[in-house]
Structure 1
Amino acid sequence: MGCSFAVPVSEQRESLNNAVPTVESASNPNIPHYHRLAVAMVGHCMLLLEYLRELRLCTCPLLPFIALFKFSYKTYQEYVDSGWYGYGHRKWKSVEGADRYWRQCHNHGVSSKKSFVVYVLDSYRGYTTTVRVADEASLTLTKYGDYIYKHVIILAPSVSEFGGSISVNELVKFLDDGGNIFVAASSEIGEPIRELGGECGIEFDEEHTAVIDHHHYDIKDDGSHTYLVVPHDNQLKVPVITGESEKKLPFLYRGVGISADPFNPLLISILHAERTSYSYSLNKPVADYPNTVGTNTQLIVALQARNNARAVFTGSLDFLSNEFFTATVEEALSGKKYPGSGNQELMANLLRWFFGESGQLRVVSVEHHRVGEAIAPNQYTIMDNVYYAIKIETKNEKNQWVPYDADDVQLEFVRIDPFIRRTMKHKGGLYSEVLKLPDVYGVFKFVVDYHRLGYTHLTSVVQVPVRPFTHTQYERFIEAAYPYYISAISMVVGLVLFSFVFLYHKDDKEKTV
């Protein structure tokens, strides 16, 4: 079976799910049998009591305190370290008000023990988790019209239909509303996963197909040449998404191929196959041109929507498994050996980006005013000298906001089209620029529209009116108009002289004989 946790419907149920360890994983032979039996019995009883409580068939006032039966943290941590890790020990490390994420598990080979990602998420991140079977009838993303999860992780490649109110359209709407979705597929891919990928601009290959490479496969391959060794150079080289690795270890991959729309600017190729690879059915000879060939065969693809929602798609569920995380790598043909794979390191960095712990930008403050002043005016005048400053921060590895430093943040002064575009100077995350407004009046905007791969889209818009000069602000005498001034004065002087002569000139009378 998949995971045995129930969805928390009330606050008490949520506390129980965080405090009670799962029963399914209580099978480690190193733990005394009576301990495992006692925990299993108490765990089942608590879940049954809570279920009856929700149906209003049981009103046990001590139910919130039953969780106190658990062992001391030290004892339970020893259980966790010995391999009996479930989902309960996060209660001692949980963060109040932390994000919640939802993982779907299907019955076909997806267990809490197989996927090391599940253990990493529960052990180190402090998220409140809910684990459900993908076709369960009570699945839902909302409660009273509001989303109850911020992140959805789907580890159900072969699901034929989602349960409850979940559908592909519902997941797409969740993404449109700002939620994040992580999807892991395999060669046993179902139609809902393929349809969800299509809605996000990617296409998974058909069911029972796999990425095949007859030149780059591991020595542990079963002869199908699908146990691929992918060089580290095929990884996206953007540290904010994939991190910076010193070991440069290759990746292990076994799964279905992905093709991505090359004209979609929102898609990010995280990892692609070698040029000798192709995606085709494992049970048929190659008769037609494969769906994807060479480096066009994508293995991991990410999407960052315009609303900064993030989605990650991988065609290999095995990529996330303990087997691939901890395996040594030896190429079958070349004989090259590596002490391990880069799967775990890549997933750790990729999950940080997926959860919004990296690649986040925010505007802390914006100020603008005339040079020499300190307060922004209600309106500017054409030809004013204006000071503009914006403070930008990003998240560091400790999930703390720190100043963001970059040399490519630009400021635009826009009225329909940009009249001014400048690259701003920066110091300690404060970007500033002094600009002279154009000799054009109207309604303008200070615009900072910053789009960089891996970072959230940063947009800051401040609208300001710009008026023309008043009549008292114009110069009284303009040098270029001096000839016109002289001609006007000369006309006046000439008219006065002419009038004086005309009025006071008297002709002599002619003498008559």
Structure 2
Amino acid sequence: MKRALCLLIALSWSLFAQGLHQTILAVADHSLEDYSTFLNSLTENGYDVTTANVRDEKSQLFQYGERMYDNIILLSSQSKSFGATFSPKAILEFTQAGGNVLFAAGSNLPEGIRELGRQLDIYIGERHSSVVDHFHSVESSNDESVLLDAVSENPYIISDETRQAGSIVYKGNGHYLGTNHRAQPVLRGHPSTYVYNKKSEGKVSEDPWAAGTQLFLVSVFQNDAGERIGFSGSPEMFTNTYLSPNSPSYSAANALFARDLTNWVFQRVAVLKASDMTYGKVGEPYELRNASTYRIKDQMVFSIDIAILNDGQPQPYVADDVQMELVMLDPYYRVNMVPVASDSKTYQHYEAVLTAPDHYGVFTYKIAYNRPGLNPIDEKATFTIRQFYHNEYPRFLPHAYPYYVSCFAVLGAFLIFCGIWLVQIPKASSKKQK
């Protein structure tokens, strides 16, 4: 039994750490030679990278109904369409099947990517638009190579090393976000940054399409199942111009930013894994846990193990805001789970001890954990809480002692009355004789 359990845990961790051996399809509508440094860095990190042109036959997402790759990188700079293979419907089906996608499309992005962005609540600037900043830009770039340092403060997406590396060079289009909480900005503009379009130059100066800190350059999206999509309005930021150490325009900040972005989108970091979700009575053996039925007012313990994947390796995830719910239509309990010290180096053990509700029925032990930058945890387990059996009730209830005393008091009074009545001898009656 223990050996089988150990094998099962080892298999689950091997599947959990499969980010080290993921496959990537890098597709572009132009030559990929300019992205060789970026693609080589992915190969060095353990990814199996396949490159293809958007029109190649091997640019397929599915074969016989099965997903062919774990991740996709779409780089676009000139095409108006990526075809039916990479249509918004096909991309969404790919993510629903467990894949992750990274887009990098400039000013002349395909309309399919724009439509996909609208479905994700990411609204991209019109064609031929560029991000401009007259106060934060590279010299001799017509203010179109913008220097940005307003990166996300979320430590699960962007590391402290990247924040301290300096300004990121950006050249491309911009976008703004809607109200969908699943979409998060990663890189945003300065107050002096705005979207510029040469075809409507006069209107831009009066009423820019997007500007300031509400103008986003790189954003990410994560669906309810945890699959991730990244969007950058600049394919140039992934080219050798900024990522190759041999280039005169090399930017260490760009290299670190590209590393952090791909690690997050491709689920190499900030991936939570919940396992060994158990419940049972306090003090009972582990083998007897997760039974189908428990009794009202039982002292129960609920536990779960949570790990986080960082750089492809599982580590304990320690937090003080992991909550559990015990639900039957409405939550009867909603309490914080307490981290319990253990010798494990791959997961953190959490527990919560509480008394089973004084109500019988079917209950659900539920953990719904959603935090920005982390994939959501949604785990459930169902069991029944029953009433006391007839022979489980106490024979004498302490609250009924006054009634017991009154009953025996009445019975004693009746017996005393009967005894007095029986022993009493009536006096003989005297009759007057005439």
- The alignment's TM-score, normalised by the length of structure 1, stands at 0.72
Bigger mean CA offset, 274-283 vs 346-355: 274-283
Indicate the residue corresponding to 2:272 in structure 1.
361
Indicate the residue corresponding to 1:251 in structure 2.
168
Alpha carbons 2:242, 2:250 under 8 Å: kept: no
Q: Residue 362 of structure 2 is aligned with which of 430, 438, 443?
A: 443
Indicate the residue corresponding to 2:373 in structure 1.
454
Bigger mean CA offset, 204-213 vs 274-283: 274-283
The C-alpha deviation readout for 1:440-488, integer Å capped at 9, x for no partner, is 2222222222222222212222222111222332233333322222222
Alpha carbons 1:370, 1:385 under 8 Å: kept: yes
Indicate the residue corresponding to 1:73 in structure 2.
none
- Whether 2:348 is the aligned partner of 1:424: answer no
Q: Residue 385 of structure 1 is aligned with which of 265, 290, 299?
A: 299
Q: How many residues align?
A: 403
Q: 1:326: Cα distance to partner?
A: 5.2
Q: Distance in 2 between matches of 1:186 and 1:327?
A: 23
Indicate the residue corresponding to 2:32 in structure 1.
111
1:43-442 aligned within 5 A: 98-107=21-30, 110-114=31-35, 116-122=37-43, 124-136=44-56, 139-163=59-83, 165-221=85-141, 223=142, 225-231=143-149, 234-245=150-161, 247-261=164-178, 263-287=179-203, 289-325=207-243, 340-374=251-285, 375-376=288-289, 377-397=291-311, 399-420=312-333, 421-428=335-342, 429-442=348-361
SS in structure 2 opposite 1:383? coil
Amino acid at match of 2:389: T
Q: 1:340: Cα distance to partner?
A: 3.8
SS in structure 2 opposite 1:241? coil
Identity fraction in percent: 26
Q: 1:245: Cα distance to partner?
A: 1.1
Q: CA, structure 1 residues 279+502, in 2 after alignment: closer, same or farther (shift >3 Å)?
A: farther
Amino acid at match of 2:26: R
Bigger mean CA offset, 481-490 vs 156-165: 156-165
SS in structure 1 opposite 2:207? coil
Q: Distance in 2 between matches of 1:290 and 1:96?
A: 41
Q: CA, structure 1 residues 275+157, in 2 after alignment: closer, same or farther (shift >3 Å)?
A: same
Q: Which has the higher strand share?
A: 2
Alpha carbons 2:39, 2:49 under 8 Å: kept: no
Q: CA, structure 1 residues 136+163, in 2 after alignment: closer, same or farther (shift >3 Å)?
A: farther
SS in structure 2 opposite 1:489? helix
Q: Distance in 1 between matches of 2:244 and 2:57?
A: 36
Amino acid at match of 1:410: Q
SS in structure 2 opposite 1:300? strand
The C-alpha deviation readout for 1:9-31, integer Å capped at 9, x for no partner, is xxxxxxxxxxxxxxxxxxxxxxx
Q: Distance in 2 between matches of 1:351 and 1:417?
A: 40
Q: 1:405: Cα distance to partner?
A: 2.1
1:17-36 aligned within 5 A: none
Say what the alpha-carbon RMSD is for the aligned residues: 2.9
- The alignment's TM-score, normalised by the length of structure 2, stands at 0.84
The C-alpha deviation readout for 1:252-289, integer Å capped at 9, x for no partner, is 1111111111x211111111111111113134324252
| Structure 2 residue ranges without an equivalent (≥5) | 1-17, 343-347
Q: CA, structure 1 residues 115+201, in 2 after alignment: closer, same or farther (shift >3 Å)?
A: farther
SS in structure 2 opposite 1:284? helix
Q: Distance in 2 between matches of 1:97 and 1:357?
A: 8
The C-alpha deviation readout for 1:87-133, integer Å capped at 9, x for no partner, is xxxxxxxx9994322121113xx4323453223223x1333333222
The C-alpha deviation readout for 1:351-386, integer Å capped at 9, x for no partner, is 111121111121232333322221224422112112
SS in structure 2 opposite 1:242? coil
| Structure 1 residue ranges without an equivalent (≥5) | 1-94, 329-337
SS in structure 1 opposite 2:405? helix
Q: Distance in 2 between matches of 1:402 and 1:341?
A: 28
Amino acid at match of 2:269: S
SS in structure 2 opposite 1:449? strand
Alpha carbons 2:80, 2:108 under 8 Å: kept: no
Q: CA, structure 1 residues 504+157, in 2 after alignment: closer, same or farther (shift >3 Å)?
A: farther
Higher relative contact order, structure no. (Cα contacts within 8 Å, ≥ 6 residues apart): 2
Q: Distance in 1 between matches of 2:281 and 2:106?
A: 60
